[in-house]
């Protein structure tokens, strides 16, 4: 049995710094939008403020997660706390889904019973929100692909920017035409931005937590490729999953011809298997564990536990 330890390490400190700065900006916008929603009676601004509230909580979680994933592995947490980023992203998206649902339902009610809206104030606060959100987008853009945690944070500020655009558009329509239902429609559009993206993040986080095969990796192809190596008699108990974003792992039991253990060829084959899963497939798996077995040992295993 052997392990490959060459997996890459992300620049977590830099990501944490970006998240902290974004958290400060988002908190400032939240305070401004709460004041603005109360002053203007705007659903669009209220929905965006609610979105901002979840962003503040989510970014606080993200900052904490960015710190936790730097913790070294221990005997109790053998992978460290790498999955903290997956839990954080899932929690952010779940709350975001609730906010989007509320905004959509409230928007329907306001379409039926419109309320007076202070369009000038709505426009001012919409512009303030957009400027802050664009600044946050620029801060997070370079690190958005690092992990699911950073991606969730980036998507949130992008959604916030789209929400601010919707707020500005509704303010302009109300100012020019007096049609206050534009505010309800803007609030519902913000919800439409929020819900699908929240569902996507929840699905991806759930896939990692359920230890699904990494997206893009065909496990049957891996099985076929390993089985085709000379001297390999059988491949079973083949599993692949992700510990966290960017950290896929693979384990397998491989039955070799008895002479491979007698002449030392098993070690050469082990290197070949590790190089294969690290380089041959669309998903590079640099942390792999292979249990090499003789035919006698394979027959000794409980058949009901083999896959």
Look up the CATH number of the domain holding residue 261. 3.30.70.1350
2 found inside a domain? no
Asked if residue 292 and residue 204 are part of one domain, the reply reads: no
27 pLDDT exceeds 60?
yes
Check if the beta carbon of residue 149 is closer than 8 Å to that of residue 245: yes
pLDDT, greater one: 104 or 19: 104
The answer to whether residue 84 scores a pLDDT higher than 80 is no
Q: At which of 186, 210, 234 does a domain end? A: 210
For the stretch 288-307, pLDDT in tens is 999 999 887 766 665 544 44
Helix (H) or strand (E) holding 20: helix 12-40
Residues 223 and 198 placed together within one structural domain of the fold: no
Kindly state whether residues 224 and 204 are assigned to the same domain: no
- Whether the predicted pLDDT of 205 surpasses 60: yes
Instruction: Based on the fold, state whether residues 179 and 249 are members of the same structural domain.
Output: no
Task: Kindly state whether residue 264 falls inside one of the protein's structural domains.
Answer: yes
Q: Are residues 193 and 51 in the same domain?
A: yes
Whether residues 46 and 176 fall in one domain: yes
Residue 72, H or E segment: none
At 48 the three-state DSSP class reads: helix
- In 3D space, the residue among 119, 155, 138 whose CA is nearest the CA of residue 45 turns out to be 119
The length of the chain is 307
Each residue of 218-248: b (16+ CB within 10 Å) or e?
Answer: eeeebeebbeeeeebeebbebebbbbbbbbb
Based on the structure, what is the number of domains in the chain?
2
pLDDT tens for each residue of 258-273:
889 888 889 999 999 9
- 122 contacts 44 by C-beta, under 8 angstroms: yes
Does any domain span residue 153?
Answer: yes
CB 202 within 8 A of CB 230: no
Task: Specify whether 43 is located in the same domain as 164.
Answer: yes
**193, 252: one domain:** no
CA distance 291 to 252: 6
> Helix axis angle, 43-68 relative to 84-112, nearest 10°?
180
The percentage of the chain sitting over the pLDDT mark of 70, rounded to a whole number, equals 87
Q: Are residues 191 and 228 both part of a single domain?
A: no
Q: How far is CA 171 from CA 41, 71, 122, 144, in A?
A: 12, 47, 6, 31
Task: Please compute the mean of the pLDDT values over residues 69-78 and round it to a whole number.
Answer: 76
Residue 7 forms part of a structural domain: no
SS3 52: helix
Residues 49 and 177 in one domain: yes
Cβ atoms of residues 183 and 117 within 8 Å: yes
Burial class for 209, CB neighbours closer than 10 Å (0-12, 13-18, 19+)? middle
CATH number, domain with residue 73 = 1.20.1510
pLDDT at 8 over 50: no
Provide mean pLDDT across the span 40-55. Answer: 80
Asked if residue 3 has pLDDT above 50, the reply is no
Are residue 174 and residue 223 in the same domain, yes or no? no
- Closest Cα partner for 159 from 108, 193, 116? 193
- DSSP H helix total and E strand total for the chain: 10, 5
- The domain boundary, picked from 184, 210, 236, lies at 210
**pLDDT tens digits for 138-185?**
888 876 666 666 777 787 788 778 888 888 999 999 999 999 999 999
Q: What are the tokens at 122?
A: 């709505």
Of 82, 237, 52, 267, the closest CA to residue 162 belongs to 52
Residue at 286 is within a domain: yes
Please check whether residue 95 lies inside any domain of the structure.
yes
Q: Are residues 140 and 231 in the same domain?
A: no
Q: Comparing C-alpha atoms, which of 265, 191, 270, 182 is closest to residue 226?
A: 270
In DSSP terms, 291 is beta-bridged to 253
> Does residue 226 belong to any structural domain of this protein?
yes
pLDDT at 256: 93
Predicted confidence (pLDDT) at residue 9 exceeds the cutoff of 60: no
| 8 Å CB contact between 146 and 66 | no
Domain boundary among 210, 244, 265: 210
Q: Domain of 259?
A: 219-305
Cβ burial of 1 (10 Å; 0-12, 13-18, 19+) is exposed
Q: Model's pTM, two decimal places?
A: 0.69
Instruction: Specify whether the CB–CB gap between 19 and 137 falls below 8 A.
Output: no
**What pLDDT shows up at residue 4?**
43
According to the model, what pLDDT value does residue 258 have?
Answer: 86
> Hunting for tokens 């993206």 — which residue is that?
197
| Residue 3 counted as domain residue | no
């Amino acid at each position: 049995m052997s392990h490959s330890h060459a997996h890459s390490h992300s620049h977590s400190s830099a990501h944490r710094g970006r998240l902290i700065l974004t958290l400060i900006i988002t908190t400032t916008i939240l305070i401004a939008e709460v004041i603005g929603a109360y002053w203007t009676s705007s659903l669009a601004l209220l929905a965006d403020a609610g979105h901002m509230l979840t962003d503040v909580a989510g970014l606080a979680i993200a900052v904490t997660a960015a710190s936790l994933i730097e913790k070294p592995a221990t005997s109790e947490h053998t992978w460290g706390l790498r999955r903290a980023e997956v839990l954080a992203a899932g929690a952010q998206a779940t709350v975001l889904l609730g906010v989007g649902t509320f905004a959509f339902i409230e928007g329907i009610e306001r379409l039926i019973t419109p309320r007076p809206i202070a369009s000038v104030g709505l426009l001012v606060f919409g512009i303030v929100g957009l400027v802050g959100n664009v600044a946050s987008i620029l801060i997070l853009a370079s690190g958005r692909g690092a992990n699911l945690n950073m991606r969730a944070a980036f998507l949130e500020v992008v959604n916030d920017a789209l929400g601010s655009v919707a707020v500005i558009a509704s303010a302009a329509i109300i100012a020019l035409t007096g049609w206050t239902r534009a505010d309800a429609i803007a609030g519902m559009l913000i919800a439409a931005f929020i819900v699908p993206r929240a569902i996507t993040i929840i699905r991806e986080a759930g896939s990692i937590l359920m230890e699904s095969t990494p997206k893009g990796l065909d496990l049957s192809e891996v099985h076929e490729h390993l089985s085709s190596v000379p001297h390999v008699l059988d491949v079973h108990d083949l599993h692949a999953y992700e510990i966290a974003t960017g950290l896929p792992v693979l384990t397998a039991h491989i039955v070799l011809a008895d002479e491979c253990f007698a002449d030392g060829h098993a070690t050469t084959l082990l290197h070949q298997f590790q190089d294969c899963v690290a380089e041959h497939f669309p998903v590079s798996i640099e942390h792999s564990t292979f249990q090499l077995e003789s035919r006698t040992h394979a027959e000794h295993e409980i058949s009901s536990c083999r896959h």
